[in-house]
Chains A and B, each alone.
Chain A
Amino acid sequence: MLGIDTGGTYTDGILMVYASREVVVAQKCLTTRRDLSLGIEAVIQGIPMADPSAIRMVSVSTTLATNAIAEGKSGRVGLLLIGYDPELIASFKMESRFATEHYYYFAGGHDLYGQEKAPLDLPAILERVAAIKDQVDAIAISAYFSPLNPEHEHRCFRAIRGICDLPVVLGHQLSSKLGSVERATTAALNASLLGVLKAFIVAVRRAMERRRIAAPLLVVRGDGTLMSAAFAAAAPVETIHSGPAASAIGARALSGRDDALVIDIGGTTTDLALIEQRQVTISENGATVAGYKTAVKAADLYSIALGGDSHIRLEGDRRLAIGPARMTPIACLADQHAGIQSHLQTLMQRRRSLIEPEALEFWFLLRAPDGAAAPPTAQEKALVAFLGPGPRPLPEILAHLGLFSRQQVETDHLDRHEIIGRAALTPTDLMHVEGVYTAWNREAANCALQVMARCRGCDPKTLADEIRAKITATIVHATVCFLTGATLALSSETKASGDFGQWFFHNSLRDDHPHLGTRFALRQPIVGIGAPAGILLAPVADALHTELILPAHHSVANAVGAAAGSIMVAEELIVYPRVAADGLETVGYYVQTKEGRQLYDGLQDAMTAAREVSRERAFGAALRSGADNPQVVVEERPDGLDTYRIRATAMGSPRLARRRRPGKTPVSDDVRRARRRSEVAIDGGERGEISHGTG
């Protein structure tokens, strides 16, 4: 099996033996942010394998969805809100939570009992869609209480598909929760990601084919389970947080621990997750991405902007700061450009007052701008020309451009197209100085540390200790916040502030009060993941008085997690009462699936039917998603107002590709299935809707 993870800095690939979960080869490539598929293609091309046709499954976790939303690179969406109360939404100022500017209100929707609240205003909807259809890439629909009765969403879907070819996403198919704003946000984000994920999957499969890998492609969900690529293309919003979730699954697979705190130190961020009884804990509330609260089920995570490539710098008052920006380590830059080390050596000779704190930040050209990436402004052109011959320190750049502060330099465009890069002192450089990691120029890292120490007015050893203490404090702080849900400002002020929370936190970290000893004691071990975990987490484990486990291959645990996950499909049905016209008497119970509802006389009959139907649907869906012999668990819980939720979860290991015999090209399962499918296509179009553009 091939597992791949695209992180913020590195794209990792591993080759794993399925039965024994043994990692055979691991490969790391730099992530190409402008087009993640380039990094994936590099990993698939680069990973050494004797017989690519022996690969029977490929599984990918990706930050693509999260990045696209955060960077505004996703598609434009028209969001149709049916039966929502515009005044209510406005009074809570919730419009900004819809994740699109194009949202429109229409009459319609259902009530708490699944009864029509108002007739659906289809003519108005079609008129609006006709007006906006050339300005958006997809349509999202969310109707009030649609999980209880999706009739209006279905009618809209049918009508809209009758007048235009845009993909249409229905809210109730993504979430059976009743929170109407979260459902609308989820539908809108999902619609905006359709094109992004489709392009990504096409690129991955193209790279697979180039290596002659003929195997099913699976994508990791935000809760660490797997789904088929076709499913992911229809529900891209479910890939939110898939990277950190995969790392937690990988940590569990590699360490064999059933209960642990997983700390994954990447290049850009550090992510915390918890494993309890062999499972990654899932957040009860939906995942939040780029400030948008969704109804997507995802791993319970805590993420901080601190990683191996975080920017270590001195601020104006020479105070030490780490992150949040991601930098190329100086050791790495000096490895590629000979001038850097001698430049640093000159700096070391300079008088302290002449060393600016920004002197350690270098900018350089990553690649020559071309076509669409050509710099649009004169300032950017001047910058690119100035960096042409080689990297320059920031003070020189500012002097050349005649500016005073870096805030005056507009580099958004150049950053987005990955034309300029920045290098500075990072934790990775510190690892070079200490000799624990020496892939690049150690001497340059050493010089940089000395320059910073000189600027700060201390010796390098003290500075290194301070940096490490700060990193430790940051991670311990994150751990405490994650596990307790408490919030506490992380200040570098010590216990003198008089605030009890601050005193307690800092005393527990150092435990140097003459009379009162306090300390943190984590009950579970820490499983460290990521390349810098070894050096950065040892003091964290000490501070938390627990054991640090660094499993073999921990630096590629995310990719392991991608390959080690199980396929899961959940089907949730809602059983709720049908009330008589006077609203006082219950005259039966509905069983509501995603497509329609069925009425039963008694609650017992309804519940029995719901259990059976949910079990069957989950089982079938898991088989279609590529699970082998899925096991189904049915749970039920009351949801107030005589309403019950029956949830069937089908889980199974991925069904692996059969090895093909060379010579004959068989008609693939896809085509065979498509043929069968085409026989019932119209039927599907009439009733069981497919909510996304299927051609």
Chain B
Amino acid sequence: MELVEVDTRLAYETVREKIVSLALAPGALLNEQALAQEIQTGVEPVREALRLLVYDGLVTFTPRHGIYVADINLTDLEQLSEIRLTLEPLCARLAALRCGQDEWTVLEALRAQQLAADPQDSQRLLDIDHKFHQALTRAAGNKYLARSLDLLFGLSQRLWTVVLPKLDFLSDAVAEHLEMMDAIRHQDADQAEKLMYRHVKTFYDRVRRILQTGK
């Protein structure tokens, strides 16, 4: 992003944050002028930021109708879970095999933050969880895998936000991270892969149930 104009970057980050946190609801119509006013930039950078968000799959342009926040629906969810259930365990496996000293230090630092965080502060726990997954992709040392997962993370983030208030599974995630780190420390690739599959699957099962039944 370093070649993007400063104001475009600001608009991109602000609008992205709004979409991910559901402040801009899925399917909502986006008004470039109103966003520009709110962010206090010109309209042009907002327009360009929205184009970048199209590439992230968070915004859709509809010819003659306008610009919308991308919807969240069950089909998307199924497709997303299919691909993440394949890639995340692979990532965990590679991380167990390749994790270097620096990457390990980062994982440990995140672990310490997780323990120190207030268990009620789900936003903070979510942020740490996200960084934990990112640290694993770095440890896996495959840039194409990292790029794919980064895109998928961005799309899954909104699901997290949807289910966040409904159930308390972040404390489970804490325990699961601990197990996963054990597996990585012992370079047990099979175990890391298995744990990650379970971790991701549990998550999608719960999200699916909430979207279907509302609880």
Please give the residue numbers on chain A whose beta carbons come within 8 Å of chain B beta carbons, in ascending order: 122-123, 126-127, 130, 155, 158-159, 162-163, 198, 201-203, 205-206, 208-210, 214, 217, 229-230, 233-234, 624, 665, 667-668, 670-671, 673-675, 677-678, 681-683, 685-686, 690, 692, 694-695
Contacts and interface: CB of A to CB of B under 8 A. Distances in A.
Nearest to A231: B2
A130 B112 contact: yes
Given A127-B112, A670-B4, A686-B143, 10 more contacts: A123-B105, A201-B6, A206-B42, A217-B5, A230-B2, A230-B3, A234-B2, A671-B48, A677-B4, A678-B55
B40 interface: yes
Nearest to B135: A162
B131 interface: yes
A203 B109 CA distance: 38
B134 A162 contact: yes
A687 to B, nearest CB: 9
B13 interface: yes
The dominant DSSP class at the A interface is helix
Contact of B1 (A209, A210, A677): A677
Contacts of A690: 2
A159 B1 contact: no
B195 to A, nearest CB: 20
A159 B134 CA distance: 11
B51 A671 contact: yes
Contacts of A198: 6, 10
Contacts of A667: 51
Contact of B3 (A123, A155, A205, A674): A674
A163 B48 CA distance: 29
B188 interface: no
A209 B44 contact: yes
Contact of A624 (B3, B9, B48, B108): B3
Nearest to A121: B105
Given A130-B112, A677-B2, A158 B102 contact: yes
A127 B108 CA distance: 10
A689 B44 CA distance: 28
Contacts of A671: 4, 8, 48, 51-52
A695 B16 CA distance: 10
Interface in B107-135: 108-110, 112-113, 131, 134-135
Interface string B172-191: 00000000000000000000
Interface in B1-43: 1-10, 12-13, 16, 40-43
A234 B102 CA distance: 26
Given A209-B44, A210-B42, A695-B1, A130 B109 contact: yes
Nearest to B43: A209
13 contacts: A123-B105, A123-B108, A159-B102, A198-B6, A205-B7, A206-B42, A217-B5, A670-B5, A670-B8, A671-B51, A674-B3, A681-B1, A694-B1
Contacts of A694: 1-2, 9
B147 interface: yes
A230 B102 contact: no
Nearest to B47: A665
B100 to A, nearest CB: 10
Nearest to B150: A682
A327 to B, nearest CB: 33
A162 B112 contact: no
Top-9 shortest CB links A-B: A209-B42, A126-B109, A162-B106, A682-B147, A682-B143, A202-B7, A673-B3, A694-B1, A233-B6
Given A671-B48, A674-B52, A695 B105 contact: no
B42 A155 contact: no
Contact of B131 (A163, A206, A233, A665): A163
Contact of B105 (A159, A665, A673, A681): A159
Contacts of A682: 143-144, 146-147, 150
Contacts of B113: 130, 163
A200 B209 CA distance: 48
B89 interface: no
Interface string B157-170: 00000000000000
Interface string B77-109: 000000000000000000000000111011011
A193 to B, nearest CB: 13
A155 B104 CA distance: 12
A155 B103 CA distance: 10
Contacts of A692: 2
A163 B7 CA distance: 25
Nearest to A695: B13
B36 to A, nearest CB: 8
A624 B13 CA distance: 23
A670 B42 CA distance: 15
Contacts of B1: 674, 677-678, 681, 694-695
B106 A695 contact: no
A201 B9 CA distance: 12
B208 interface: no
B143 A163 contact: no
A692 B9 CA distance: 12
A209 B138 CA distance: 40
B124 to A, nearest CB: 11
A122 B104 CA distance: 10
A682 B140 CA distance: 13
B75 to A, nearest CB: 25
Contacts of A686: 138, 143, 146
B152 to A, nearest CB: 13
Nearest to A686: B143
Contacts of A234: 2
Contacts of B102: 122, 155, 158-159
Contacts of B147: 681-682
Contacts of B41: 202, 205-206
B131 A162 contact: yes
B110 A695 contact: no
A230 B6 contact: yes
Contact of B4 (A201, A209, A673, A683): A673
Contacts of B110: 162-163
Contacts of B138: 158, 162, 686
B42 A668 contact: no
Given A155-B102, A162-B138, A674-B52, A202 B3 contact: no
A234 B1 CA distance: 12
Nearest to A214: B44
Contacts of B131: 162-163
Nearest to A133: B113
A63 B45 CA distance: 26
Contacts of B13: 695
B4 to A, nearest CB: 5
A163 B112 CA distance: 11
Contacts of A665: 47
A49 B43 CA distance: 22
Contacts of A214: 44
Nearest to A210: B42
Nearest to B39: A202
Nearest to B101: A122
A205 B45 contact: yes
A163 B6 CA distance: 24
Contacts of A202: 6-7, 10, 40-41
Contacts of B44: 209, 214, 668
B3 A126 contact: no
Contacts of B103: 162
Nearest to A120: B102
B181 to A, nearest CB: 14
A210 B109 CA distance: 46
A611 B45 CA distance: 39
Contacts of A127: 109, 112
